[in-house]
Amino acid sequence: MVASFVLSILNIAAIVTGEEFSNIHDTEIDRFLKKINKPALKSIKSPNGDIICVHMKNHPIYDHPLFKNHTIQMKPSSYFKRWNNESSKALKKSIVTQMWTIYGECPNNSIPIRRTKKEDILRTGSLEKYLKKYPNNILRLNQANPIDNYTHEYAILRLNGNFHGAQAVINVWKPYLQTPREFSLTQTWLLAGPYGETNTIEFGWQAYPQRYGDDNPRLFIYWTADMYNQTGCYNLECPGFVPVNRAFALGEPVTPVSTMNGQQYHIPMAVWKDPRSGNWWLKVDNHIFVGYWPSTLFNHLRNGVTEIQWGGEIINLKENSQHTTTTMGSGHFAREGYGRASYFRNLQIFDENGIWKPINGGYPHMTNKNCYDIKTGYEKIIWGNYFYYGGPGRNQLCI
C-alpha cells in the first residue's frame, strides 16, 4: 500500500516536471519567434509561406550586440563586369527566380523576411537544433568523420590561396531526399582560420524538408565565426547578415529547376570583400545585391579567404545500416555531362588587388566517388573553368 502510494506520488511528480519542462521550451520558442519575426509593414502570402516586410529601423542586425549602432551600407562601393560572354538575353532565360514576388512587393525602406513559425522549429526537435547545423559539415580534413549515426558527404573542388571573393554560375535541380532529416545542398564555401576555429561564409541552394517543410530547392546562406560551435546560423535566424534588397528573400524556393535532358536553369552567385568597407557582399543574378556580412563579424575572415570550396554536400543517416538514396545535384554522376549531371561554371576568384580572375588550379575531393563524384573541365568561350558533380547515393557500388 505504502509502495503503491509512493509510486503514485513519483508518477505525478514526473508528469508535473515534464509539463514544466515542456512549458519552459515553449516559452523559449515563443520568445525566439517574437524576436525574429519583426513588426511587419506588410505581409505577403505565397504558396510557400508568408513574407513579412520589415522596416529598416527594425533591421535584425540591430539585435547583435556588436551592431547596435551599425550604419547600414545600402550598396557596395564598387561594381564589376558581367559574368561571361553570353548575351544577356540568353543568360536571363536560364536564370531562376523567386515566385513570392508575383504576389506583392515590399515597400521602399523595408526588407522581405521569411516568417518563421513554431512548426518550423518543432520539426527539428528543439530550438537548439533549429539554430545549428549538424556537426562535421566543414571539410578541412581528407576524410569524413562519422558523428552519432550520420556523416556528411561531399563532391567538391577545393582551392587554396589568398582571396577576397568567389563567384560561379550554379546549376539548380530538385534532389530526392530519402528522409526529411537529411539535406542535399549545392554551395560555395569561403573559409579562413585554423581547424577548430574556422570562419566560413556559405551560399547556394538547399533542399531540406525538416527545416523548410518541403523538398523545394531554396537559396540560402550560412556563416560561422568559430566552426559552428557558438556562432552562426542559416539565413536570418540570428543577427549577422545584413539584407538590403526589398525584392529578394533568403530561404525562399527558386523556380524553375533543371530537367533531365531538358532546359537547364542556373543562378549566378558571388561574394566579395568590399575594397572600402571590408564588408562581404552577396550578389545573385547579374544585378541583385542581396546584402552583406559585416567584416567585424569575423576575426580570420576580416583579413581575407584562405580556402574556397565549390560543390555538393549531403547528409547520410545510414538508416538500416545502408547508405542513403538521397541524391546530390541532379542525382547523376559527373561523367554523364550536360543535361544530366549538375554543374558549376565560370568559376572565378576576386584577388587581393580587387580584380576578378578565372581560377588557377584547384583539386577535386570526393568522400566516396562511388556515391557522388566530380569531373573538372575548361571551355574557352562561355563556360570558362567548370565542373560536373553529383550522384544517386546508394547503388551497387555504394552500399
- 7: which residues sit within 8 A by CB, 6+ positions away? none
Q: Tell me, yes or no, if 202 is annotated catalytic.
A: yes
Query: What's this model's pTM, rounded to 2 decimal places?
Result: 0.89
Q: Which of 241, 224, 206 is nearest to 138 (CA)?
A: 224
Give the pLDDT band (50/70/90) at residue 89.
low
Could you tell me which residue, 86 or 273, shows the higher pLDDT?
A: 273
**Structure confidence at residue 138 as a pLDDT band (50, 70, 90):** low
395 located within any domain = no
Extract the C-alpha cell encoding 116. Answer: 518563421
* Pair (263, 319) in one structural domain: yes
Residue 255: phi and psi, rounded to 5, are: -145, 160
Looking at residue 43, its pLDDT comes to 96
**Rounded average pLDDT over 264-275:** 96
Specify if 396 maps to a domain: no
- The C-alpha cell at 124 is 527539428
Same domain membership, residue 113 and residue 71? yes
Same domain? 118 vs 2: no
Both 25 and 137 in one domain: the answer is no
Catalytic residue (one of 153, 182, 202, 307): 202
Instruction: Report whether pLDDT(141) > 50.
Output: no
Decide: 389 and 366 in contact? Cβ < 8 Å.
no
Q: Same domain for 88 and 225?
A: yes
Q: CA 162, CA 349: separation in Å to the nearest integer? A: 10
Residue 288, pLDDT above cutoff 60: yes
Domain assignment present for 309: yes
Helix (H) or strand (E) holding 289: strand 288-293
- Say what the pLDDT of residue 309 is: 98
pLDDT higher than threshold 70 for residue 92 = no
Under a CB-based contact definition with an 8 Å cutoff, are residues 395 and 369 in contact? Answer: no
- In which band, very low, low, confident or very high, does the pLDDT at 132 lie, cut at 50, 70 and 90? confident
Segments forming the whole domain that contains residue 11? 1-36
Claim to verify: residue 270 and residue 131 sit in the same structural domain: yes
Q: Is residue 340 part of a domain?
A: yes
Catalytically annotated residue among 182, 237, 252, 313: 313
Give the DSSP H/E element, type plus range, for residue 90: helix 88-93
Per-residue pLDDT, 327: 98
pLDDT confidence bin for 23, thresholds 50/70/90: low
Phi and psi based region of residue 167 (left: phi greater than 0; alpha: psi -120 to 50; beta: remaining): beta
Residue 183 and residue 279 in one domain: yes
- Residue 397 inside a domain? The answer is no
- 313 in catalytic set: yes
Q: What is the pLDDT of residue 206?
A: 97
Q: Is residue 398 part of a domain?
A: no
Question: Does 83 lie in the same domain as 28?
Answer: no
User: How many domains does the structure of the chain reveal?
Assistant: 2
pLDDT band at residue 222 under the 50/70/90 scheme: very high
Q: What is the mean pLDDT of the chain?
A: 88
Q: Determine, yes or no, domain membership for 138.
A: yes
Same domain membership, residue 152 and residue 32: no
H or E element at residue 32: helix 2-36
Shared domain for 114 and 158, answered yes or no, is yes
Kindly tell me the burial class for residue 379, based on how many C-beta atoms sit within 10 Å of its own C-beta (0-12, 13-18, 19 or more): exposed
Q: Is residue 342 part of a domain?
A: yes
Residue 135 has which C-alpha cell? 556537426
Looking at the structure, do residues 143 and 255 belong to the same domain, yes or no? Answer: yes
| pLDDT given at position 93 | 63
Res. 131 pLDDT band, cuts 50 70 90: confident
The reply to whether 203 and 117 lie within a common domain is yes
